[in-house]
Amino acid sequence: MQESSRVAAGRRRAARAKRTIALAAAGGFLAVFGLARISHPGTTATGSVTTGSSPSSIVVQQSDDGGESDDGTWSSGTIAPSTSSSVPQVQTRTS
Amino acid sequence: MPIDWYAARAAGVVAYVLLSAVVLVGLTLSGRAQLGSWPKFAVTELHRFGGILVGVFLGIHVLAIAIDTYTPFSPTQLLVPFASSYRPFWVALGIVSAELLVAVAVTNALKPHISYRTWRRAHYATFLVWAGATVHGIGAGTDSTTSWLGALYAVCVGLVSGALAWRIMRRREAIRPTSAGVSTL
């Protein structure tokens, strides 16, 4: 009788732990999703480009195959004002 | 950037953390550690459930990469190592690890029909899966250089390495009296 109550208690404990792990995994997924979005340079650099002459004309430079080169590596895209070459470029994509 | 690319990365990280936890629990079980009021069958049940969750998040990881348009992967590139031109070595490590994990899952399903020795030997492949997943995550993951993910990898590697060292020491302690007894005979 005592043995079966111990088994039942163990089962209850395992069921609770399983629920907690599943919820933690789902929460972890959302947290990492958010962290990956925040830490990606493409999102953090948005809106931080300022130019002296023509702030509205921003050219996004990227290769025609989506940034991937022949050797399998990824080239970085850049955002730069179209009129002035002296303004520093902002990197938006990394590999 | 498409949402599925973030989903692929998040699912990969969660699958890796869960895999590390499952390996930790497995080492605790095989080392016969005393877990207070936790009966062994309950810990075994958690170990199994963790393994299923690893499979679920690994499935999401692969599926999200398959439908992603930011870094397109064909079915062949997802299944065959070195078929992808995107970081071929690191991606191949991930593919091999995932396929090895499927093989371990198959031996788990066949456990009642195979010998314990065969099952146990196949189960050791989980260490290769974990090591491969670690290197795959660091090499292929686009967030590997971020401090939060670096810390996560450090914690997982530290915990699993520590548990593995503890397990090896327990095994040596268990073998020592037997071999001493044999030598005196």
Q: SS3 breakdown of chain B: % helix, strand, coil, rounded to 5?
A: 80, 0, 20
| Between B165 and A1, residue with greater pLDDT | B165
Instruction: Check if the beta carbon of residue B107 is closer than 8 Å to that of residue B51.
Output: no
User: pLDDT (tens digit, 9 = 90+) per residue, A45-84?
Assistant: 444 444 434 444 444 444 444 444 444 455 555 454 444 4
Look up residue A13 and give its DSSP letter.
Answer: H
Identify the burial level of B5 via C-beta atoms within 10 angstroms of its C-beta, where 0-12 means exposed, 13-18 middle and 19 or more buried: buried
For the entire predicted model, the pTM comes to 0.75
Considering only CB atoms, B14 lies closest to which of A25, A70, A95, namely A25
Identity of the amino acid at B40: K
In which band, very low, low, confident or very high, does the pLDDT at B71 lie, cut at 50, 70 and 90? confident
Q: Where are the domains of chain A?
A: 1-39, 50-95
pLDDT of the residue at A43: 53
How many separate domains does chain B show? 1
Domain ranges, residue B144: 3-184
- What part of B 91-130 touches A (C-beta under 8 Å)? none
Question: What is d(CA B43, CA B165) in angstroms, rounded to the nearest whole number?
Answer: 21
pLDDT at B38 over 80: yes
Instruction: Check if the beta carbon of residue B81 is closer than 8 Å to that of residue B96.
Output: yes
| Partners of A78 in beta bridges | A61, A91
- The ipTM assigned to this model is 0.83
Q: For B54, name the nearest residue in chain A, comparing CA atoms only.
A: A25
pLDDT of the residue at B142: 78
Q: Testing the interface with B: which of A7, A18, A38, A93 to mutate, by most B Cβ within 10 A? A: A18
